[in-house]
Protein backbone atom coordinates (compact mmCIF):
# COMPACT_ATOMS: atom_id res chain seq x y z
CA UNK A 1 0.00 0.00 0.00
CA UNK A 2 2.83 2.38 0.81
CA UNK A 3 4.42 1.68 -2.56
CA UNK A 4 1.14 2.08 -4.44
CA UNK A 5 0.66 5.44 -2.71
CA UNK A 6 4.06 6.54 -4.06
CA UNK A 7 5.62 6.80 -0.61
CA UNK A 8 8.39 4.29 -1.30
CA UNK A 9 9.65 5.77 -4.56
CA UNK A 10 13.42 5.31 -4.56
CA UNK A 11 13.36 3.67 -1.13
CA UNK A 12 14.36 0.17 -0.05
CA UNK A 13 11.39 -1.95 1.01
CA UNK A 14 10.27 -5.48 1.63
CA UNK A 15 6.97 -7.29 1.31
CA UNK A 16 5.62 -10.82 1.17
CA UNK A 17 7.92 -12.79 -1.15
CA UNK A 18 5.14 -13.39 -3.68
CA UNK A 19 4.60 -9.62 -4.00
CA UNK A 20 8.24 -8.55 -3.83
CA UNK A 21 8.64 -8.45 -7.61
CA UNK A 22 5.79 -5.91 -7.84
CA UNK A 23 7.62 -3.23 -5.83
CA UNK A 24 9.77 -1.87 -8.69
CA UNK A 25 6.62 -1.01 -10.65
CA UNK A 26 5.88 1.49 -7.87
CA UNK A 27 9.43 2.83 -7.70
CA UNK A 28 10.47 0.92 -4.59
CA UNK A 29 13.76 -0.97 -4.35
CA UNK A 30 13.02 -4.51 -3.17
CA UNK A 31 15.30 -6.08 -0.59
CA UNK A 32 15.26 -9.40 1.21
CA UNK A 33 15.98 -7.81 4.61
CA UNK A 34 13.38 -8.98 7.12
CA UNK A 35 12.73 -5.47 8.45
CA UNK A 36 13.66 -2.41 6.38
CA UNK A 37 13.94 1.08 7.82
CA UNK A 38 14.40 3.67 5.09
CA UNK A 39 13.87 7.22 6.22
CA UNK A 40 10.57 7.49 8.05
CA UNK A 41 9.19 4.32 6.45
CA UNK A 42 9.41 0.82 7.87
CA UNK A 43 8.43 -2.30 5.95
CA UNK A 44 8.58 -5.98 6.83
CA UNK A 45 8.13 -9.27 5.06
CA UNK A 46 5.58 -11.83 6.12
CA UNK A 47 3.49 -12.38 9.22
CA UNK A 48 6.10 -12.95 11.93
CA UNK A 49 8.25 -10.15 10.52
CA UNK A 50 5.51 -7.85 11.77
CA UNK A 51 6.56 -8.77 15.30
CA UNK A 52 10.19 -8.07 14.37
CA UNK A 53 9.10 -4.70 12.97
CA UNK A 54 7.18 -3.87 16.15
CA UNK A 55 10.20 -4.71 18.30
CA UNK A 56 12.46 -2.66 16.01
CA UNK A 57 10.14 0.33 16.35
CA UNK A 58 9.86 -0.14 20.12
CA UNK A 59 13.64 -0.12 20.34
CA UNK A 60 13.85 3.10 18.36
CA UNK A 61 11.09 4.79 20.37
CA UNK A 62 11.73 3.66 23.96
CA UNK A 63 15.17 2.04 23.79
CA UNK A 64 16.63 -1.40 23.36
CA UNK A 65 16.17 -2.48 26.99
CA UNK A 66 12.43 -1.83 26.88
CA UNK A 67 12.11 -3.55 23.49
CA UNK A 68 13.93 -6.54 24.92
CA UNK A 69 11.61 -6.53 27.94
CA UNK A 70 8.63 -6.53 25.56
CA UNK A 71 10.15 -9.43 23.62
CA UNK A 72 10.67 -11.38 26.83
CA UNK A 73 7.18 -10.48 28.05
CA UNK A 74 5.58 -11.98 24.96
CA UNK A 75 8.11 -14.83 24.91
CA UNK A 76 8.96 -14.15 21.29
CA UNK A 77 11.76 -16.61 20.60
CA UNK A 78 11.13 -17.94 17.10
CA UNK A 79 12.41 -21.43 16.51
CA UNK A 80 10.52 -22.65 13.45
CA UNK A 81 10.32 -26.39 12.89
CA UNK A 82 11.40 -26.04 9.24
CA UNK A 83 13.80 -23.87 7.25
CA UNK A 84 11.07 -22.99 4.79
CA UNK A 85 10.41 -19.40 5.86
CA UNK A 86 11.70 -17.77 2.70
CA UNK A 87 12.08 -18.75 -0.95
CA UNK A 88 15.84 -18.90 -0.38
CA UNK A 89 15.59 -21.61 2.26
CA UNK A 90 12.40 -23.47 1.33
CA UNK A 91 12.57 -26.57 -0.88
CA UNK A 92 12.55 -25.53 -4.54
CA UNK A 93 9.50 -27.69 -5.45
CA UNK A 94 7.43 -25.96 -2.75
CA UNK A 95 8.52 -22.49 -3.91
CA UNK A 96 7.69 -23.41 -7.52
CA UNK A 97 4.28 -24.77 -6.54
CA UNK A 98 3.35 -21.60 -4.67
CA UNK A 99 4.66 -19.36 -7.44
CA UNK A 100 2.48 -21.33 -9.86
CA UNK A 101 -0.56 -20.99 -7.57
CA UNK A 102 -0.13 -17.88 -5.38
CA UNK A 103 -3.80 -17.92 -4.47
CA UNK A 104 -3.02 -20.90 -2.26
CA UNK A 105 -1.11 -18.51 0.03
CA UNK A 106 -2.86 -15.20 -0.49
CA UNK A 107 -6.41 -16.27 0.33
* Structure confidence by residue, pLDDT tens digits, 41-93: 999 988 889 999 999 999 999 999 999 999 999 999 999 999 999 999 999 99
- Cα gap 74→77, rounded to integer Å: 9
Domains and CATH numbers, the chain: 12-81 (3.40.50.880)
Cα(105)–Cα(43) distance, rounded to whole angstroms? Answer: 20
Entry pTM: 0.81
Q: What Rg do the C-alpha atoms of the chain give, in angstroms?
A: 15
Amino acid sequence: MLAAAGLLDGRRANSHWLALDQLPAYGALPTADRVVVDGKYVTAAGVSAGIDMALTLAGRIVGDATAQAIQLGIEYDPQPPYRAGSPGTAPAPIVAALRANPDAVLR
